[in-house]
Structure 1
Amino acid sequence: MRNWLKNVGPGVLVSAAFIGPGTVTVCTLAGVDFGFSLLWALLLSIIACIVLQEMAARLGIITGRGLSEVIREEVKNPIFKWLSIILIFAAIVLGNAAYEAGNITGAVLGMSAVVPSPVLEIGAISLDLWSLVIGLIAFILLAIGNYKILEKVFIALVAIMSISFVVTAVMTRPEVIPLLKGLFIPKSGSAGLLTVMALIGTTVVPYNLFLHASLVGEKWKGQQALKIARKELFWAILLGGVVSMSIVITAAASGITSVTTAADFAAGLEPLFGSYATFFIALGLFAAGISSSITAPLAAAYVVRGCLGWKKGLNSIKFKMVWAGVLLLGVFFSSLGLKPVEIIQFAQVANGILLPVVAIFLFWIVNRASVMGEHKNSVLQNVLGTLIIAVTIFLGAKSIYTVLEGI
């Protein structure tokens, strides 16, 4: 057990990052609106996540550098280099700053479902104290700058999320045959296309590709760690996928017909399953929110470090300034009591559209023998990677067409 825990880390952080309030919200809405019929999209997302995150992990272990750092060094054309850096910087850093408010608010919703949220009145401004408390917890954990402590915290949070959501899904007693059909028989009307993109965007998160490549370099050195990293990644993402599916199953099997927020989802289960179901959902939502509120600023800081060529990481003042800025923006907007659920859902769709762009960069890098040597992509990895990129481009184009058609 001690050896097993020693090798757990980066993959768990990836799972903790993608199971945030966005995942809870999108999976809840998918289950309420479409039942079990979109479980296949989550299965596809899990496979795509394993394939792409393995590439990112392999890049980090072999080169000892993060994805944004390698892109900056490998793109030789000055114009294309700066365009690439600006695209990555804007998409990841500014996007993470926007997501952070939703992450913290998600944790607040979880807390508020059990303990009412106290509000501090300062003149005309009302501040949610739970937002400040959660922001402070995230700040302290990041300020410590100790990767091993972060690992232990995330292992605990992922365990809490897993138990909470899986137990709640079991309590709903879903019908097995419709569940299996939804898992293995793809189908989606045009109305569900944006939800499919959101499910993919909330599982295969573009910033996780940058975060994972950097984290494996912090934890392991040398190509002998590849086997361990792959095994840890596979089980961590599989567990995260089971949690996401559990949320869809709970929402689909519970009989709830209308959900505005994931907190409503928790409250809506109380008449059906008693206070325990509400407690489990609230606890899972809190763990999801606080874990993502730590990983989003951390990922943004790693991206900035790579884009600007900084050498130092967790304990660098400049590195800390980036994650602190993202975190403070999230705390500020969350404490104002804004309702970010629709923004979160839109962000997941945007993630799905952005994914092929980041995946193409990663795909190009891991096929360069000058970077990866003998560990560049195999034929099978290239086939899988090409299929994943093609599917995400197709779905992204169709979702854009669907939006434009509705205008």
Structure 2
Amino acid sequence: MKQNHSSKTSILKTIGPGFLLAGAAIGVSHLVQATRAGADYGFILFWVLLLACISKYPFLEFGPRFAAGTGRHLISGYKRMGKFPYWAYIVITLGSMFIIQAAVTIVTAGLAERLFKFGWSPFIWSFIILGSCIALLLIGKYPGLDKSMKIIVTFLAVATLAAVIMAFGAGTVGRALETRPPSLWTTASIGFMIAFMGWMPIPLDASVWHSIWTREKSLQTKQQVSIKGAFIDFNVGYLSAAFIGLLFFLLGVLVMFGSGTSFSNNSIEFSAQLVDLYGRTLGNWSKPLIAVAAFITMLSTVLTVTDAYPRVISELKHPERDRTEEVKNKWRIYKYSIFIIPALSLSILYFLSGSFTILVDFAAGLSFLSAPFLAWFNYQLVTGEQMPLKFQPGKNYRIFSLLCLLCLVIFNIIYLYYTFLL
């Protein structure tokens, strides 16, 4: 009995990286993409949301599985696999990180102005938000990030669920069912569906972040995360992200679909439209709840992304070295990167803040195009010689993973066809 209690305590101690994954996931993909999907297409895009969450599941799960089974993160695995996986990941990361950081920050800036109404521009808000996240990460480090995300994700789930229950009670289901959705087989619709899948619930490169956070958790707790513990932790985070994505999708359907409102490309105007539409449907008293839930949604993403990319950059050169001197060097690179990446992202925002939905769609499309490559790399790692045989996925799970990979490839081909050949 005592041993069983000890085992449960050990697993509970490993929970944390999953909340970071959820915090990174519950952002633009949920607030903007999932809400837009429900608002523009109604219930008809539910299958896209479901397929996106299912098809990415195994390849994101392979990140913490690899870290728990080997004690190393995925970047180390990519480097041992050969030059192509290693450099492909570097190119994907460098090609997307600035625009992803910019996209999640500008949406947060719009929501901050809508919530606090200080009259500040999106650029000023972005500067303040990024500065606050950097300060928290440098002072609190990993433990501060870990504790913050547990509180944020829990509050967000409760607030969003409350909003959905109120939306159902407002009697808008009939309008949503009676409104005819637009065609899915147009260039614009295909492009949006791919962008929606690209970030729902999170891009596949987050598997690398999760593997790094899992390894960092082991260093903080001074015990190796077990495969069972990593699996439970991943499911807590991933299923939370998928569930909250469904909630935002339902809010879009119930509150906005059939309302005749078109979304603005300006972040502050978009945020105002979002909150005002909820207010008109649920009542003005609901506006503060929606505004706070939406702001916290995006703040969690900015915080985790601001931490994730510098961690990745610090691990790129020598991912397998753990000597004291090398650890200090990695921390030095992390500190430089945590200022440089946001600074370059702010420069993007300075010139493109008026077209943030275009920015979001571009970054999401880029993430989706890279997904089959990262999925294949992760599959090879957990089924290859680097992974102990006892921790490798079983036959049925491998078949499921390959079917998911096939889905990602097919949708990539469709996206390329509609983008460049039509």
Q: What is the TM-score of this pair, normalised by structure 2?
A: 0.83
- Describe the shift of the 1:228–1:13 C-alpha distance in structure 2 as closer, same or farther (beyond 3 A): same
Query: What is the identity, as a one-letter code, of the residue corresponding to 1:213?
Result: S
- Describe the shift of the 1:285–1:326 C-alpha distance in structure 2 as closer, same or farther (beyond 3 A): farther
Query: What is the identity, as a one-letter code, of the residue corresponding to 2:131?
Result: L
| Matched-pair identity in % | 19
Match in the other structure for 1:122: none
Offset at residue 376 of structure 1 (A): 2.1
Query: How far, CA to CA, are the matches of 2:386 and 2:240 in structure 1?
Result: 34
Match in the other structure for 2:403: 387
Match in the other structure for 1:182: none
Offset at residue 16 of structure 1 (A): 0.9
- Describe the shift of the 1:294–1:151 C-alpha distance in structure 2 as closer, same or farther (beyond 3 A): same
Offset at residue 45 of structure 1 (A): 2.3
Match in the other structure for 1:238: 239
Answer yes or no: is 1:106 the counterpart of 2:107: yes
Query: How far, CA to CA, are the matches of 1:117 and 1:331 in structure 2?
Result: 20
Query: How far, CA to CA, are the matches of 2:12 and 2:263 in structure 1?
Result: 38
The 10-residue stretch of structure 1 (153-162 or 303-312) with the greater mean CA deviation from structure 2: 303-312
- Describe the shift of the 1:393–1:325 C-alpha distance in structure 2 as closer, same or farther (beyond 3 A): same
- Describe the shift of the 1:236–1:141 C-alpha distance in structure 2 as closer, same or farther (beyond 3 A): same
Query: How far, CA to CA, are the matches of 1:332 and 1:198 in structure 2?
Result: 24
Is the contact between residue 51 and residue 385 of structure 1 (CA under 8 Å) also seen in structure 2? yes
Query: What is the identity, as a one-letter code, of the residue corresponding to 1:284?
Result: A
Is the contact between residue 93 and residue 300 of structure 1 (CA under 8 Å) also seen in structure 2? no
Post-superposition CA distance 1:139-179 (Å, at most 9, x none):
01221263221111111221232233222222211649x89
Query: How far, CA to CA, are the matches of 1:38 and 1:171 in structure 2?
Result: 22
Answer yes or no: is 1:281 the counterpart of 2:290: yes
Is the contact between residue 37 and residue 249 of structure 2 (CA under 8 Å) also seen in structure 1? yes
Query: What is the identity, as a one-letter code, of the residue corresponding to 1:293?
Result: V
Query: How far, CA to CA, are the matches of 2:97 and 2:40 in structure 1?
Result: 27
Match in the other structure for 2:206: 208
Q: How does 1:244-259 map to 2 (within 5 A)?
A: 244-255=245-256, 256-257=259-260, 258-259=262-263
Is the contact between residue 31 and residue 249 of structure 1 (CA under 8 Å) also seen in structure 2? yes
Post-superposition CA distance 1:205-230 (Å, at most 9, x none):
12211101111111137776211221
Query: What is the identity, as a one-letter code, of the residue corresponding to 2:68?
Result: I
Query: What is the identity, as a one-letter code, of the residue corresponding to 2:197?
Result: I
Which structure 2 segments of 5+ residues have no match?
1-7, 178-182
- Describe the shift of the 1:143–1:338 C-alpha distance in structure 2 as closer, same or farther (beyond 3 A): farther
Query: How far, CA to CA, are the matches of 2:158 and 2:349 in structure 1?
Result: 27
Is the contact between residue 161 and residue 284 of structure 1 (CA under 8 Å) also seen in structure 2? yes
CA RMSD of aligned residues (A): 2.7
Query: What is the identity, as a one-letter code, of the residue corresponding to 1:294?
Result: L
Partner SS, residue 259 of structure 1: coil
Query: How far, CA to CA, are the matches of 1:111 and 1:313 in structure 2?
Result: 36
The 10-residue stretch of structure 1 (225-234 or 321-330) with the greater mean CA deviation from structure 2: 321-330
Query: How far, CA to CA, are the matches of 2:229 and 2:58 in structure 1?
Result: 16
Query: How far, CA to CA, are the matches of 2:315 and 2:63 in structure 1?
Result: 14
Partner SS, residue 206 of structure 1: coil
Match in the other structure for 1:64: 71
Match in the other structure for 1:198: 195
Match in the other structure for 2:5: none
Query: How far, CA to CA, are the matches of 1:362 and 1:145 in structure 2?
Result: 31
Match in the other structure for 2:343: 328
Answer yes or no: is 1:152 the counterpart of 2:152: no
Q: How does 1:8-407 map to 2 (within 5 A)?
A: 8-75=15-82, 81=83, 83-119=84-120, 128-144=123-139, 146-173=141-168, 175=173, 188-190=184-186, 191-202=188-199, 203-220=201-218, 225-255=226-256, 256-257=259-260, 258-260=262-264, 262-263=270-271, 264-310=273-319, 311=321, 312=326, 316-334=331-349, 337-406=353-422
Query: How far, CA to CA, are the matches of 1:323 and 1:12 in structure 2?
Result: 21
Which structure 1 segments of 5+ residues have no match?
76-80, 120-125, 180-186
Offset at residue 136 of structure 1 (A): 1.5
Q: What is the TM-score of this pair, normalised by structure 1?
A: 0.86
Query: How far, CA to CA, are the matches of 1:332 and 1:280 in structure 2?
Result: 32
